[in-house]
Amino acid sequence: MEQVQDTLIGRENEIKYLETIVSSKEAEFVVVYGRRRVGKTFLVNTYFHDKYAFKLTGLAMKGKREQLANFTTSLNRYANGKKYTKPRTWYEAFDELRDLLETMQTDGKRVIFIDELPWMDSRGGNLVSALEHFWNDWAVTQNDIVLIVCGSATSWITKKILKNRGGLHNRVTQKLYIRPFTLAECKQYLNSRGILMEDKEIAECYMIMGGIPFYLKNIRRGASLSQNVDEMFFAEKGRLDDEFNALYASLFDKSENYVKVISALSSKNKGLSRDELIKATKMESGGVFTTILQELIDCDFIRYYHSYGNKSKMGLYQLIDPFSLFYYKFIKKYGGTDKPFWQYQIGTRQHDTWAGLAFEQLCLNHHKQIEQALGISGVLTEVYSWTTPHAAEEKAQIDLIIKRADKVVNIFEMKFYDGDYSMKKKDYDDMERRVRAFRAANNIRMAIHPVLVTTFGLANNQYSNVFQNTVTLKDLFK
């Protein structure tokens, strides 16, 4: 256990979850899923020290014949001298796996890990049907079996396994969704690789890459963040120059439709309604469109939220994935130029405008750390955004609101700043106006506490008392 924690960065909850699975007295069918590059396979392999009763990794872009041959190769690797011949069908393949497992002598769990399962599925191959039979006919009766399937193709995993309407319906006993790193985990990971950055630089790194371990792994030691960003995303044939297209293609069938939604949302910071999205993408409304939106939500690319006080069913979809936002703001237009583009952007108006928006998303993704800093982590809360209705005379927008069960509403001003943020009179007047408009539009009788979230702190002057609290990057790294 200690060795696992020393090797893995973060993932404390995931490790506890796996411990529960291993200590179970029943057969366990586990689905591990999450976006490309997030560290799913690394987590499973590290936890189990690569000690499996059987392990198989599907082949990318190969047909049934190659997949079955690969299956046989893996069988023989664990067969201890016995030789299995290549099966003709997936039913025969899983029957041979059963034969292998029945001959094994183990003290603990017999762990089966099938990685990149979606890659193994070919038209007419009956892979899922054979897996169903293997589980329902035999594996489920073995109290020491742990079957783990994994894959980045979220739409496939969801449709074929998690929401299977056939023999695997409700057969999955556990599912483990792997999320990107938090700011604190990003810092821990970079430090483990000997890469030293200040907190503000790590925050900007998160605002670009979104806490994806593989992206962080590509950061070159000894180079600045801006140099690394140029080398990874803007250089011709850069290390991750085609990552955006590969990301969505790996996750979703017919990924071009998912990208249409992401593209439409990238141009509207506060988000779009379903009807506005349909109009922007020129896609048909219906079940397919609903599935696309839900899967993008499930993968943490977008969120669906209601504006504070909105009693109607109509909500907004908002793009919240930092890397996708960065792609549409900069990489799509300027990538592949083989010039040090990002190094020359630092301090420009274009950079600062993006940084302000990206920092707001960072804060939204770390609202739990903000609640902890305010001392309300034990209080029931709801997170909102808010914009004045179209008919309102006084226009205002608040990008982050936390409504608390202790009869307080926190509204947030978020500033990504080089030093202590100095409040000016026009900023003070604007905050007072937004509080006034927010209270009037929603008929709020609770206390409204404005909070500043910023990089370093708030300079004390005649206008700084408009904020009840200040939260800094130091708090967000906890």
Find, among 112, 187, 176, the residue nearest to 148 by Cα: 112
233 and 147 inside one domain? no
Last residue of a domain, one of 349, 382, 413: 349
Query: Is 360 among the domain residues?
Result: no
204 and 281 inside one domain? no
Query: Is 354 among the domain residues?
Result: no
DSSP 35-97: STTSSHHHHHHHHTTT--SEEEEPPTT--HHHHHHHHHHHHHHSSTT--PPPPSSHHHHHHHH
What's the structural domain count of the chain?
4
Instruction: For residue 141, count CB atoms less than 10 angstroms from its CB and return exposed for 0-12, middle for 13-18, buried for 19 or more.
Output: exposed
* Residue 310 CB neighbours (<10 A): 16
424 and 321 inside one domain? no
Distance CA(357)–CA(337), nearest Å, equals: 25
Lowest mean pLDDT among 150-164, 204-218, 461-475: 150-164
pTM of the entire predicted model: 0.90
Distance CA(7)–CA(200), nearest Å, equals: 26
pLDDT digits (tens, 9 = 90+) for 278-331: 999 999 999 999 999 999 998 889 999 888 887 666 789 999 999 999 999 999
262 and 230 inside one domain? no
Distance CA(5)–CA(12), nearest Å, equals: 8
Helix (H, G, I), strand (E, B) or coil at 435: helix
46 and 34 inside one domain? yes
Q: In terms of DSSP H, where are the helices of 339-378? A: 349-365, 367-373
pLDDT beyond 60 at 2:
no
Position 390 scores a pLDDT of: 64
pLDDT digits (tens, 9 = 90+) for 43-82: 999 999 878 999 999 998 899 999 999 999 999 999 988 8
202 and 344 inside one domain? yes
Helix (H, G, I), strand (E, B) or coil at 103: coil
371 and 294 inside one domain? no
Length of the chain: 478
Query: Is 357 among the domain residues?
Result: no
Say if residues 31 and 173 touch (Cβ distance below 8 Å). Answer: no
Domain that holds residue 269: 245-326
379 and 298 inside one domain? no
pLDDT beyond 70 at 392:
no
Query: Is 428 among the domain residues?
Result: yes
* Residue 324 CB neighbours (<10 A): 23
